[in-house]
Amino acid sequence: MLLDVLDSQLVLVDYQSRLMPALHEGPQALANALRLAQTAELLHVPVWGTEQNPEKLGANAPELRALCRKTMPKMHFSAVADGLLDCLRPPVRPAGGNARSLPKHLQKPATAPAPERGTIVIGGCEAHVCLLQTALELIEQEMDVWVVTDACASRTERNRDAAFDRLAGAGAELVTTEMVVFEWLRTAEHTSFRQAQSLIK
């Protein structure tokens, strides 16, 4: 199964100024997150960011923040607990028709529609805490989660790799930045191929 650009959303978790210097391979993870966000913008994939306790850990890198539709502050380690699903899923639509003219037992209840873009491509920091908990809760919400391993970082390599093992066991797909970019493009004849290719060279 390949990633479908029309079904994808990108979530970038906590690439924050006071956190990044302490992370193993943090600069590479941030650089890959930026490549993903730039490619997403090019291909009209929605991009969402999160920041853990930004008053203490600072904001996300400004160049990354600028590419997000919204950057959501959070105190829970999982962004789902602080409302990420409100960004990822379309709003509940009220029941159609003239509901006032029907008895209550005949009215259709308003229900949340299926996500318009149910594939979540996600990267972030720290991989074994905020990224892990967010991804696991998205899987619980029956979303397809693709973790971009080279856009993730933790303070130690062991913690990062343990997160990947657990996520794979929970059903997440583990991918790399280049895998995402080329699966979104699918062909060298894509009108954005040269621009996207230049981002990863």
Quick one: pLDDT at residue 94? 59
The upper half-sphere exposure of residue 143, i.e. CA atoms within 13 Å in the direction of its Cβ, equals 27
Contact 118, 8 (CB under 8 A): no
Band the pLDDT of 201: cuts 50, 70, 90.
confident
With a CB cutoff of 8 Å and minimum separation 6, the contacts of 118 are: 7, 142, 143, 144
Confidence of residue 104 (pLDDT cuts 50, 70, 90): low
**pLDDT given at position 90:** 73
Q: Name the pLDDT band for 111 (thresholds 50, 70, 90).
A: low
Residue type, 104: K
Mean of pLDDT values over 108-124 = 76
For the segment 142-154, the average pLDDT, to the nearest whole number, is 97
DSSP characters for the chain? ----GGGEEEEEE--BTTTGGGSTTHHHHHHHHHHHHHHHHHTT--EEEEEESHHHH-PBPHHHHTT-SEEEEESSSSTGGGTHHHHHSPPPPPPPS-GGGS-GGGSPPP-PPPPSS-EEEEEEBSIIIIIHHHHHHHHHTT-EEEEEGGG-B-SSHHHHHHHHHHHHHHTPEEE-HHHHHHHHH-STTSTTHHHHHHHH-
Q: Which residue has the higher pLDDT, 105 or 10?
A: 10
pLDDT of residue 103: 63
Examine the pLDDT at 109 and tell me if it is beyond 70. no
Contact 124, 113 (CB under 8 A): no
Tens of pLDDT along 48-58?
999 999 999 99
Contact 5, 45 (CB under 8 A): yes
Given this structure, which CATH class describes domain 5-89+114-120+128-141+156-200?
Answer: alpha beta
Residue 17's φ and ψ, nearest 5 degrees, are -60, -40
pTM for this predicted structure: 0.87
- Reported as a single tens digit per residue, the pLDDT across 22-72 is 999 999 999 999 999 999 999 999 999 999 999 999 999 999 999 999 999
Tokens representing 169 are 């066991």
Distances (CA, A) of 108 to 91, 93, 95, 126, 184: 17, 11, 6, 43, 38
Domain range annotation of the chain: 5-89+114-120+128-141+156-200
